[in-house]
Structure 1
Amino acid sequence: MQVTVISPEASMFDGEADAVVAPAFDGQVGILPNHAPFMTLLGEGTLTVRRADTVSRFSVRGGFLQVVNNRVRVVTEHVQGESHAS
């Protein structure tokens, strides 16, 4: 699935992934390929993006996560951590 992580300051990740775990406002949410359409508000915590043997972690605060057509979009008010782009 295609994953994009952006904030007003930067685009932090844009690439393929096998799994995403995000801090939703009411707890952790896990997204795998071909997930049903879904949207949630984000809380504060660690966003994890996994692809094969690579794990990227980002600290996020606020915003939302959207899943549509095997694409995950994370739009957050603030993001820190690894910066990966493809």
Structure 2
Amino acid sequence: MASQLKLEIVTPEGVTTSEMVDYVTLPGVEGEMGIYPMHVPLMTQIVAGEIVVRKGGEEYLLAVGDGFVEITADHVSVLTDMAIKANDIDEAKAEEARRRAEARLQEKLSQEELAAAQAALARSAALLQVKKHSKRT
């Protein structure tokens, strides 16, 4: 029986994470998903939010954008538009991005512009949430 999972996170910039981990939580469209080794195979969508990774008794957080995840008994593959570790988040820039996205939502927008502004707001909210949670630990 597998005791660890291979976690791979891929963004448009390339592979941001590729390591063996004990446990992963993901922000799924239906809610938070906890993934242990020997999980049932699954492919689903993820939403902007927080990934918690447990490895060797330590935990770290990542902010992720919308994307997809494929889960097998020993592998978690995430394809997303953003994945940033909590320590790498610039809180001031994330707050400014949130303010810009909220201001943009007040304008008269096409459907495409509205979707882009909502996605930007979700990504900045995820960054701020992860940064806030990482300060507590």
TM band (smaller chain)? 0.7 to 0.9
CA deviations on 1:3-55 (whole Å, 9 max, x unpaired) are 10111123221111110000011210110001110111011110111112221
| Worse-matched range after superposition: 33-42 or 7-16 | 7-16
> What SS does the corresponding residue of 2:17 show, helix, strand or coil?
strand
Q: How far apart, in 1, do the equivalents of 2:40 and 2:80 lie?
A: 21
CA distance 1:82–1:13, change in 2 (3 Å): farther
Of the candidates 5, 27, 31, which is equivalent to residue 9 of structure 2?
5
Of the candidates 45, 50, 55, which is equivalent to residue 51 of structure 1?
55
Of the candidates 60, 63, 70, which is equivalent to residue 67 of structure 2?
63
Which protein shows a greater Rg? 2
Gaps of 5+ in 2: 88-137
The two structures have a TM-score, normalised by structure 2, of 0.56
User: Higher relative CO (CA 8 A, sep ≥ 6), structure 1 or 2?
Assistant: 1
Structure 2 residue aligned with 1:31: 35
Q: How far apart, in 2, do the equivalents of 1:55 and 1:5 lie?
A: 16
> What SS does the corresponding residue of 2:9 show, helix, strand or coil?
strand
Aligned length: 83
Is the helix fraction higher in 1 or 2?
2
Gaps of 5+ in 1: none
Q: How far apart, in 2, do the equivalents of 1:82 and 1:17 lie?
A: 17
